[in-house]
Amino acid sequence: QITNIHGREILDSRGNPTVEAEVTLTETSTGKRFTGCAAVPSGASTGRFEAVELRDAQERYFGLGVQKAVSNINTKIKEALSGRNGLDQQEVDRILMETDGTDNKGNLGANATLAVSLAVARAAAESLNMPLYRYLGGVHTDRMPVPMMNILNGGKHAANTVDFQEFMIMPVSAGSFSEGLRICAEIYHYLKKILVQKGLSTGVGDEGGFAPDLPDARAVLTLIIEAIEKSKYPPGKDVKIALDVASSELYNEKTGMYHFPGESSLKGEEIVRDTSEMITYYEELINEFPIVSIEDGLAEDDWEGWKKLTKRLGGRVQLVGDDLFVTNTKRLEAGMKLNVAGAILVKVNQIGTLSEAMEAVLMAQHHGYKAVISHRSGETEDPFIADLAVAVNAGQIKTGAPCRSDRVAKYNRLLRIEEQLGRNAYYRDPFPTV
Ligand code: PGA
Ligand code: ZN
């Protein structure tokens, strides 16, 4: 039984307020109490169709305070959930949705509903004395995810001239998660050495990847390949590359074109690409570099473009929809009908309850799409998504560089999970045929 719910305002990794909730369950027969606590992340390159993140819009914290969301937890949500069965996550989430009453959590705020939804799951797992991944996923949850590790940041996550948002490495052939993590961390350090040698900045962006000024994607990829080669794990065989272009941020509705401000500033001429030029650009990059996954290659509304992109490149790389699908089963269903993309990026705060996020994963997997569990650029020390990735057998997780404790917390949690799973843990290449 849910006997107490308490929300509070805390800070995220960018120093902006976010919501944390504590939920207490009391065992009716014994009176024993179990508490679960969870914190909500926050994006910078947010999709237009994401659930509403409630912000106070007052002077404090430049309008980003979350006191209203917190107060919704401490009043309306607490009232609606008091006395309910904390072990029935779906019913808890249904009540959260019903109490909100909108399609996009615009009333209570997805930051309020999500904090409570996640905290209920934690408390429930605690009450059953189960690890969270086991509680969420059941018995067959032994698959460790391959990191999609973002080692070079651009776009909205850094103040540099790199226009693509994320350049990630994937240690696909490692024997275990911990080995994959080590390979990635070593490559990260090699990359740092190369940047120092070249006199480039080693300051980091929001997700812990380096953020030097470089002229374009080719220049970045060339440096990354150099770093991978130094590691003795051959690029293209042991270590592959994934991109998150976050192209909705580059798309300009007035011109109908993708604008590259960083590339333009370094090259001294205006660089723009239309949809078909973007697709050709990706094709060239795939031919030159061992790229296995491209996220948000086209804008969130460009369904026609996505159809072409999928037709041309869907057989060669994993095409991931982040802003396109926003962890929303309705948008995913629409996309699957059109046969666009091949994977959904899952960010729990895009939709606002745990059950809905897990439903999106199941729907994707059921239809042969992959699901990649993801952090946000604004994170906290809460490693919930590490457990979630294992629970849903996602096989892939995006959680930044091996730098900044908000990112490392997830990797460290995965190390502990792998240790706990012992010999049952397995790790495998998500794209054995690519
Ligand atoms: P965001 O970025 O959290 O700033 O939206 C992450 C992503 O686009 O994958
Ligand atoms: Zn993205």
pLDDT digits (tens, 9 = 90+) for 146-161: 999 999 999 999 999 9
Question: Which two structure tokens, joined as six digits, stand for 211?
Answer: 């953020």
How far apart are the C-alpha atoms of 85 and 91, rounded to whole Å?
8
Ligand 1 site-directed mutation target among 248, 377, 406, 407, most atoms within 8 Å of CB: 377
Residue 362 has pLDDT above 60, yes or no: yes
42 Cβ below 6 A of ligand 1: no
Whole-number pLDDT of residue 72: 98
Which residue's structure tokens are 């350090």? 189
How far apart are the C-alpha atoms of 10 and 311, rounded to whole Å?
45
For residue 264, count other CB atoms closer than 10 A to its CB.
16
When pLDDT is cut at 50, 70 and 90, the band that residue 172 belongs to is very high
Ligand 2 center to 126 CA (angstroms): 32
Atom of ligand 1 nearest to the CA of 323: 8
Residue 423 has pLDDT above 80, yes or no: yes
Using an 8 Å Cβ cutoff, are 184 and 128 in contact? no
Mean pLDDT of the chain: 97
Ligand 1 site-directed mutation target among 49, 247, 322, most atoms within 8 Å of CB: 322
161 Cβ below 6 A of ligand 1: no
- CA-CA distances (angstroms) from residue 3 to 92, 117, 120, 125, 172? 13, 15, 11, 16, 45
Mean pLDDT confidence for 257-266:
97
ipTM of model over 0.90: yes
Whole-number pLDDT of residue 178: 98
Which residue's structure tokens are 């980003």? 64
Which residue type does 372 have? V
Binding-site residue positions for Mg(2+): 244, 295, 322
Residue 434 has pLDDT above 80, yes or no: no
- Residue positions counted in the chain: 434
Q: Is 207 a catalytic residue?
A: yes
When pLDDT is cut at 50, 70 and 90, the band that residue 432 belongs to is confident
- CA nearest to 299, candidates 266, 339, 340: 340
377 Cβ below 6 A of ligand 1: yes
How far apart are the C-alpha atoms of 253 and 213, rounded to whole Å?
27
Sign of dihedral through CA atoms 370, 337, 309, 305? negative
Q: Is 347 a catalytic residue?
A: yes
3-class DSSP assignment, residue 52: coil
For β-strands 33-39 and 17-26, DSSP reports them as antiparallel
Residue 299 DSSP symbol:
-
When pLDDT is cut at 50, 70 and 90, the band that residue 140 belongs to is confident
Range scoring the smallest mean pLDDT among 119-128, 175-184, 425-434? 425-434
Query: Of 50, 126, 207, 418, which is the active-site residue?
Result: 207
Ligand 1 center to 277 CA (angstroms): 24
117 Cβ below 6 A of ligand 1: no
Mean pLDDT confidence for 316-343:
98
Which residue's structure tokens are 């009333």? 107
Residue 322 has pLDDT above 80, yes or no: yes
Residue 364 has pLDDT above 90, yes or no: yes
Whole-number pLDDT of residue 125: 98
The pTM for the full model equals 0.98
When pLDDT is cut at 50, 70 and 90, the band that residue 338 belongs to is very high
How far apart are the C-alpha atoms of 31 and 29, rounded to whole Å?
6
Using an 8 Å Cβ cutoff, are 169 and 239 in contact? yes
43 Cβ below 6 A of ligand 1: yes
Residue 181 has pLDDT above 80, yes or no: yes
Mean pLDDT confidence for 273-297:
98
